[in-house]
Amino acid sequence: MPDTNNTQKKIIFSGIQPTGCFTLGNYIGAVRNWGPLQDEYDCIYSIVDMHALTVKRDPVKFRQQTLEAYALILACGIDPQKSVAFIQSHNRYHAELNWILACSTQFGELSRMTQFKDKSAKHPDDVNAGLFTYPVLMAADILAYNTDLVPIGADQKQHLELARNIAQRFNQRYGEFFTVPEPYIPKVGAKVMSLQDPSKKMSKSDENPNACIFILDDKDTIIRKFKRAITDSGSEVRFAEGKDGINNLMTIYSCATGKSNAEIEAEFAGKGYGDFKLAVGEAVADHLAPVRENFARLINDKAYLKECYTSGAEKAMKISGKVVAKVYRKVGFVDAR
Ligand code: TRP
């Protein structure tokens, strides 16, 4: 269990929004690395339900989605014994630190966040204050554990940069205290493109349902989507400049099977795109089968899930509680006890 005081291992924190299933792109780009990371680092993973509340949600569905997201990260290889895996709203220290950090964050900085600008343009009927201060809560998530490394995609870079600025500003004002977090860029990782338009990233919000594979899709669905994948003119399975469709399928096949491009080219020499697409579909479905099975088992075992997230929250509170207590002293709050 991570202990910020006497650990040698670096601390990784990541927050995952409970907003539906991961895509094959999330999986290949990030999620499949989580399991192996747990040996090298002290990992803390949080289902960030408080962040998700910045968008209107149906409470019944929201609760269910949060549980599903928690089950899903365990299904993907996060071991609740090795890592701290918890639900954000179960640890009140995030909200407490959020306030302190908000007082070290400028209105102007938050106004410049591109995600805020995009989201408020998209939902002009609900530009709530939570949407605006979202990055402060994210900074609190990270700084509450004196996190060293944060695995993030390009879309969260600006938020992490802000978290670093907030940490540095706090340190300047009150004396060195917070670890200034760095982005974690995975050693292996490939970008997966849309199956319908390989010039675009695979995205769960794509209007075309065939563009995106979800990791809980069943075998038939996966195979059907790959059969319909857009390929380029030509017929040879060969990795080449400008052949975005085939290149994308080769990348995916390589991730699912561990084969190199040369091996794939040899395997499909003389065969057409149709055979190849079927093989990719089957390989991906087989590769994801254990995740699907784990998820089905976990989501039906509510008692086990509860045990895991309750003990996860206890561990999270133990670490962040110490940090927040020190922060309260630093800013000059009167000791409560
Ligand atoms: N904002 C992140 C996203 O939408 C989720 C998140 C919340 C997060 N808190 C975090 C990610 C802390 C990394 C660290 O993807």
Contact 94, 327 (CB under 8 A): no
Q: Residue ranges per domain, the chain?
A: 11-190+302-331
- Is the pLDDT higher at 232 or at 134? 134
R_g (Cα) of the chain, nearest Å: 22
Measure the CA–CA gap between 149 and 101, rounded to whole angstroms. 19
Q: Over the chain, what is the mean pLDDT?
A: 94
14 lines ligand 1 (CB under 6 A): yes
- Ligand 1 centre to CA of 15 (Å) is 4
Q: Is the CB of 237 under 6 A from ligand 1?
A: no
How many whole angstroms separate alpha carbon 301 and alpha carbon 70? 12
The token duo for 174 is 């009150």
Ligand 1 test: best mutation among 138, 164, 320, most atoms within 8 Å of CB? 138
Q: Give the model confidence (pLDDT) of 211-247 as tens digits.
A: 999 999 999 999 999 999 999 888 899 999 989 999 9
**Long-range contact list for 317-321, CB < 8 A, 24+ apart?**
317/91, 317/92, 317/93, 319/2, 319/3, 319/4, 319/44, 319/84, 319/144, 319/145, 320/91, 320/93, 320/94, 320/97, 320/144, 320/145, 321/93
Topology adopted by domain 11-190+302-331:
Rossmann fold (3.40.50)
DSSP for 160-214, please give it.
HHHHHHHHHHHHHHH-S-S---EEE--SS----B-SS-TTSB--TT-SSGGG--B
Ligand 1 pocket, 15 CB below 6 A? yes
Output the CA 231–ligand 1 centroid distance in Å: 34
Q: How far is CA 287 from the centre of its chain?
A: 20
User: What is the percentage of the chain residues whose pLDDT exceeds 90?
Assistant: 87
Q: What is the pLDDT of residues 9-65, one digit of tens each?
A: 999 999 999 998 899 998 998 888 889 999 999 999 999 999 999 999 999 999 999
Indicate whether 317 pLDDT > 80: yes
For residue 4, is pLDDT > 90? no
- Give me the pLDDT at residue 166, please: 98
The alpha carbon of 138 and the centre of ligand 1 are apart by a number of angstroms equal to 6
How far is 286 from 317, CA to CA, in rounded Å? 38
The band of 337, judged by pLDDT with boundaries at 50, 70 and 90, is confident
Residue 2 pLDDT grade (very low, low, confident, very high; cuts 50, 70, 90): low
Categorize the per-residue pLDDT at 8 as very low, low, confident or very high, splitting at 50, 70 and 90: confident
- Nearest atom in ligand 1 to 147's CA: 14
Is residue 49 within 8 A of residue 18, CB to CB? The reply is yes
Residue 294 has pLDDT above 60, yes or no: yes
Query: How big is the chain, counted in residues?
Result: 337
H helices then E strands: how many in the chain? 14, 5
- The pLDDT value recorded for residue 190 is 77
Which range has the worst mean pLDDT, 180-184, 188-192, 307-311?
188-192
43 lines ligand 1 (CB under 6 A): no
Give the dihedral sign, CA 62/65/71/77: negative
Question: Which of helix, strand or coil describes residue 86?
Answer: strand
Token digits of residue 160? 């992490």
Residue with CA closest to ligand 1 atom 15: 16
pLDDT (tens digit per residue) in 104-133: 999 999 999 999 999 999 999 999 999 999
Predicted confidence (pLDDT) at residue 313 exceeds the cutoff of 90: yes
**Atom 8 of ligand 1 has which residue's CA nearest to it?**
15
How many Å lie between the centroid of ligand 1 and the Cα of residue 225?
29
